[in-house]
Structure 1
């Protein structure tokens, strides 16, 4: 081992600081110099000269930062090691996997420098900043908790006192709320992994292992001291001015400090903080069901926050719907008037919102329950069909898919597909003659047919309560109008679903996910990919003599007249008109 270290030391001494700078520039300029990477990694060591280590560190950090989001996970290396033939055939995948292994080696070397007492304080400070930069950028802007946990693990399990590093972490990064959160998470895991010394092992006074026992006890005490020291330095959530500080280190929090071109961090301007805080809260609300709820021991504690967010309306309600749906379906949350609030979200603007794809998928899931009353299903189907008249073609496609699934799941509202006013009038008339009679008509208890107007839709689109919308007395005539939609994709989709309700055994529900994220661009791309079997052409075997053929208008003739005949006809008409006026004048004067 000593001989290997000696060889590495001699190898390092062969390169000057200028040569290391040249190697770094070559690595950043072209992939052809990728072999400089392992060489620069050898200088990331506590035993290297500080200037050499810093120069190599900066070059490698500049190299890994832009490519970090494209690197595969650390587990991808096992695919190549296990002999995966497809992975071996892809040189780009092999290259990126190799880069990932070198990045993991780089992070490990940085942590060794940070916790080593041999490193100078300036070098340890630069290494800590580089580690935290990768923590910030590791997952495309999300907090890379794995790297941060490895750093804290090395600090806690180090046998030497490293108060300087602990003070640096506390002073620089504990003001960020996400760093505090993951510090608590890591400390809890590390505290559980510590094993206190059992004195019963040495109750017989055996000399062998006594020193090992004392060493283990000392290391345990040092580790506990470091955990306590880090936890005691975390400031409270509420600041000295009584306000909460939501500044975050990771970029997904938006409130991280903006870096300049050199990688340093400036101070956020006070006037921008409110805007960024609002944007940060929106992002947290969108990812709450994925990033927070699965890790909570009692997710029901978020019910008040999500209920208030859902009551706000608009985009905020859309973003809160995912988390609220998880609490209702998986954690037994009872939320009154949920469907009334969901019904109120069906407005034209929702079809152009940023998170519309996720909303439509959740809407389809919420309307899947067989316990949904018929009038609720009818109200949603009718509200969606009315919106189909004013939304973009992509919105019309997703509306057709939603209504199709509603009609398949709730056969009791299939009468909305085709309803005639004459049938309804006859039905009301027969019921009056059979059940009510003239006395009922006089008393006003029977249905008043005279007040019914054919062609009038009884559905009230402005009603916010689905139970009062009169959807059960209406029909889905709006969907029938989509057969003649100006967008071919919409008209084709409507006609392709004609037989689905009659032949249920051969058809299934439509996957709303395939239409939920559509736009003008997606429809256009689909249209230009289509192969046209028949193309309409304007071709005539003989030159036409008229604009319309006689077969198009039976009983009409379209013939060409000479200009002389036309003038003669006009003169005759003018003469007859003059004679008529002269005769009428003589009658009035009595001449």
Structure 2
């Protein structure tokens, strides 16, 4: 008899009568033997779902069961133990990626069914241990669990399930904190799965008490409503904050580290009751340097600007990031968008803004035509916004590099000499080979407008847009005394063409 037929036969026997319950042991043995075969595992999964759901629906093991007496108690205890063992084996099928969706859909359906028709005496509120086992299997496996986590996401809209998921996630991370010391493949996968699940929970997190009370999956008994953690908004927010901080204690994989820094300003800070708890993480990240410092900027600025974080050397640290390397990173546009935001306050000291303007002007001398346009536009925006810095356009004492008092390598903004300098760099850029850059640089010779232009379009300037604009330009025909070429090489007598042909 084939395995599938044998499993189907045993399943029918178990479901036919409680007297055949001992056949469950055979099904458990077959399930254990199928741990290395995905096809056989799926057959066992279907059998498990049929048996488990049928027993739950029949309520033969619950406290309300018609089965009574000493023998009935022995039967119930044995059946509960057998089903629990079978469940633990089925959860090991998480090792088969192609089974994830079907596996977790069935497990979550059984979890809901078990809560409504429990194997054990009900406590009147949701504390399902089945869900904890599902969470453990999702996170502890050494392969990415995107499909399984997406399946779980359908249940995260319910406040009670969401709270318990968060609780189990926090407990698990606390347990493994001491064991994950190096980022081996297993540790990377675990932290990636933790981050994905926490991100899903954070996205569904509500800051409204009414939303929580109206989004419960399971009914509460009347005498428990006042004592349930997941009915209290403060408990939800506090647990979410603790779980994020627990995750950030780990040495995160580089990709997750960067993504967390990107998510903090818009997705994480608004959901936390005390965002200042992120201060140490963001400060340490800001001190790392390179791209990590760049990505930590926005979150750190939000803590300073909206949550009164004291960070005296913030502008000095940002100033140090303005180097030629910043023009070659993936997050260049993000940096200059934030820089414009940081320098938006008209209450900033003139020497601070002047130092940034000079630093940007020096950088523009070395930038390509795309970045040159970006930097020049930002310089003009800052000059219009901060009127006290217009003296840089009219200072006659520092017309060249030799007479410029500005110290490019000075880290102290007060002592770098920017306010005593001039923007001779703009005069230099008037001779730039790219006409667009030269045209923007020439604007310094005209009176600046009173209203600052929109800087955001400048962030979209790249080599592709420059090439597209050049292709659309209409050129005047110029009369030449030589034959005008139509392509890269000329006719048959073209020497360059002959040279290239010789290498064919």
1:319-338 equivalence runs, <5 A: 319-338=295-314
Q: Cα deviation per residue 1:403-447 (whole Å; 9 max; x = unaligned)?
A: 11111111111121133249x9xxxxxxxxxxxxxxxxxxxxxxx
Q: Return the alpha-carbon distance in structure 2 between the equivalents of residues 303 and 134 of structure 1.
A: 38
Aligned twin of 1:461: 408
Aligned twin of 1:173: 138
Aligned twin of 1:367: 343
2:458 is aligned with 1:515: yes
C-alpha change, 1:460 and 1:285, in structure 2 (3 Å) is: same
What is the deviation of 1:283? 2.9
Aligned twin of 1:189: 159
2:437 aligned to which of 484, 490, 507: 490
What is the deviation of 1:289? 2.2
Secondary structure at 1:461 match in 2: coil
1:158 aligned to which of 111, 116, 127: 116
2:476 is aligned with 1:535: yes
What is the deviation of 1:340? 0.9
Aligned twin of 1:525: 468
Aligned twin of 2:373: 397
Aligned twin of 2:322: 346
Secondary structure at 1:116 match in 2: helix
Q: Return the alpha-carbon distance in structure 1 between the equivalents of residues 477 and 467 of structure 2.
A: 20
Gaps of 5+ in 2: 6-37, 57-85, 121-127, 198-249, 482-504
Q: Cα deviation per residue 1:101-144 (whole Å; 9 max; x = unaligned)?
A: xxxxxxxx9xx989834799799987997899569xxxxxxxx9
Kept after mapping to 1: 8 A contact 2:406/2:417: yes
Q: Return the alpha-carbon distance in structure 1 between the equivalents of residues 428 and 106 of structure 2.
A: 59
What is the deviation of 1:295? 2.1
Aligned twin of 2:395: 419
Q: Cα deviation per residue 1:238-284 (whole Å; 9 max; x = unaligned)?
A: 4454748854469688999xxxxxxxxxxxxxxxxx99823432332
Aligned twin of 1:236: 174
Q: Return the alpha-carbon distance in structure 2 between the equivalents of residues 311 and 393 of structure 1.
A: 31
Aligned twin of 1:75: none
Aligned twin of 2:428: 481
Q: Return the alpha-carbon distance in structure 2 between the equivalents of residues 473 and 229 of structure 1.
A: 59
Q: Return the alpha-carbon distance in structure 2 between the equivalents of residues 369 and 115 of structure 1.
A: 64
Kept after mapping to 2: 8 A contact 1:382/1:471: yes
What is the deviation of 1:355? 1.0
What is the deviation of 1:236? 2.7
C-alpha change, 1:334 and 1:125, in structure 2 (3 Å) is: same
Secondary structure at 1:484 match in 2: coil
Kept after mapping to 1: 8 A contact 2:397/2:403: no
2:262 is aligned with 1:286: yes
- The TM-score, its normalising length taken from structure 2, stands at 0.55
Aligned twin of 1:82: none
Secondary structure at 1:480 match in 2: helix
Kept after mapping to 1: 8 A contact 2:94/2:138: no
What is the deviation of 1:535? 1.7
Q: Return the alpha-carbon distance in structure 1 between the equivalents of residues 313 and 106 of structure 2.
A: 43
C-alpha change, 1:361 and 1:381, in structure 2 (3 Å) is: same
C-alpha change, 1:292 and 1:115, in structure 2 (3 Å) is: farther
Secondary structure at 1:297 match in 2: coil
Q: Return the alpha-carbon distance in structure 1 between the equivalents of residues 167 and 356 of structure 2.
A: 58
Q: Return the alpha-carbon distance in structure 2 between the equivalents of residues 232 and 191 of structure 1.
A: 14
Aligned twin of 1:310: 286
C-alpha change, 1:149 and 1:291, in structure 2 (3 Å) is: farther
Q: Cα deviation per residue 1:307-364 (whole Å; 9 max; x = unaligned)?
A: 1221222222101001111112222222111111111111110111111111100100
C-alpha change, 1:113 and 1:170, in structure 2 (3 Å) is: farther
Aligned twin of 1:548: none
C-alpha change, 1:281 and 1:420, in structure 2 (3 Å) is: same
Aligned twin of 1:116: 53
C-alpha change, 1:326 and 1:539, in structure 2 (3 Å) is: same
Q: Return the alpha-carbon distance in structure 1 between the equivalents of residues 460 and 159 of structure 2.
A: 40
Q: Cα deviation per residue 1:489-518 (whole Å; 9 max; x = unaligned)?
A: 32233346754x4442xx53232x322354
